[in-house]
């Protein structure tokens, strides 16, 4: 299926949030999928994955995650300088600011006439942001791809209480990890699962892909695993479709 792309500006709290909206060609009303990038923002690598998900029948919205400072509108390179800039962008954002921007984007999607239901996904830091977006009762289901910082509250400039608030999530959850992810090792994954079960999410879907490294879905660099990427997207689409009919 062909995908149409549009650059949009979403009104934030005293600033604009740049975003790409990708829709399947042919029109019609469809479920919306808010996708959060990793620290490098709206790279072509991220957009390639977003196009694949839009082609599965979703209105995909992928916003920049640093709309306030010097990284607004910037897609970072996958090198040491880009990594440091992305980490610096995260360190400059408070949890409250991330949440504030999320409300703005969810409000935008909820008001679109072509949207039937709301769903969220994200990678790495964006996986953590997707988890926090799941705290919005309007979100029906959420897929977190190798989310970082859930187990220790690392997100931005302050401590994020995301996992401690898990009982407030009313939608369905899927989390996908790689077994060789140093940012979320086995002990951290066990902690996350234990706390989610304790919060009442005993029916969440958890996948740990053997051999998967951190960012195994990023199709640039040596950690990319095309087979695991296809598997992850297939799992995610099946999960999301089951909650968006």
State the Cα–Cα distance between residues 20 and 125, nearest whole angstrom: 18
Q: State how beta strands 172-180 and 205-213 pair.
A: parallel
What does the pLDDT read at residue 1?
Answer: 84
CATH topology of domain 3-242: Rossmann fold (3.40.50)
State the Cα–Cα distance between residues 18 and 10, nearest whole angstrom: 6
Going residue by residue through the chain (245 aa), what tens digit of pLDDT does each one get?
A: 899 999 999 999 999 999 999 999 998 999 999 999 999 999 999 999 999 999 999 999 999 999 999 999 999 999 999 999 999 999 999 999 999 999 999 999 999 999 999 999 999 999 999 999 999 999 999 999 999 999 999 999 999 999 999 999 999 999 999 999 999 999 999 999 999 999 999 999 999 999 999 999 999 999 999 999 999 999 999 999 985 44
Q: Where are the domains of the chain?
A: 3-242
DSSP 72-94: TT-PPPSSHHHHHHHHHHHHT--
| Among candidate residues 86, 50, 96, 46, the one with its CA nearest the CA of residue 66 | 86
State the Cα–Cα distance between residues 221 and 4, nearest whole angstrom: 27
């Amino acid at each position: 299926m062909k995908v149409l792309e549009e650059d949009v500006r979403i009104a934030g709290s005293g600033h604009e949030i740049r975003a790409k909206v990708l829709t399947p060609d042919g029109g019609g009303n469809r479920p919306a999928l808010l996708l959060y990038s990793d620290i490098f923002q709206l790279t072509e690598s991220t957009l390639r994955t977003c196009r694949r998900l839009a082609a599965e029948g979703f209105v995909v919205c992928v916003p920049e995650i640093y709309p306030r400072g010097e990284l607004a509108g910037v897609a970072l390179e996958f090198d040491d300088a880009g990594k440091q800039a992305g980490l610096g962008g995260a360190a400059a954002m408070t949890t409250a600011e991330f949440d504030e921007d999320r409300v703005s984007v969810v409000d935008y999607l909820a008001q679109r006439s072509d949207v039937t239901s709301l769903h969220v996904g994200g990678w790495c830091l964006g996986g953590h942001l997707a988890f926090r977006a799941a705290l919005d009762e309007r979100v029906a289901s959420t897929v977190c791809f190798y989310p970082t910082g859930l187990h220790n509250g690392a997100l931005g400039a302050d401590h994020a209480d995301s996992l401690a608030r898990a009982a407030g999530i009313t939608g369905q959850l899927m989390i996908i990890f790689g077994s060789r992810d140093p940012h979320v090792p086995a002990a951290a994954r066990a902690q996350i699962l234990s706390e989610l079960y304790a919060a009442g999410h005993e029916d969440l879907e958890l996948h740990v892909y053997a051999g998967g490294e951190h960012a195994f879905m990023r199709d640039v660099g040596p950690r990319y695993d095309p087979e695991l990427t296809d598997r992850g997207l297939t799992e995610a689409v099946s999960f999301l479709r089951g909650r968006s009919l």
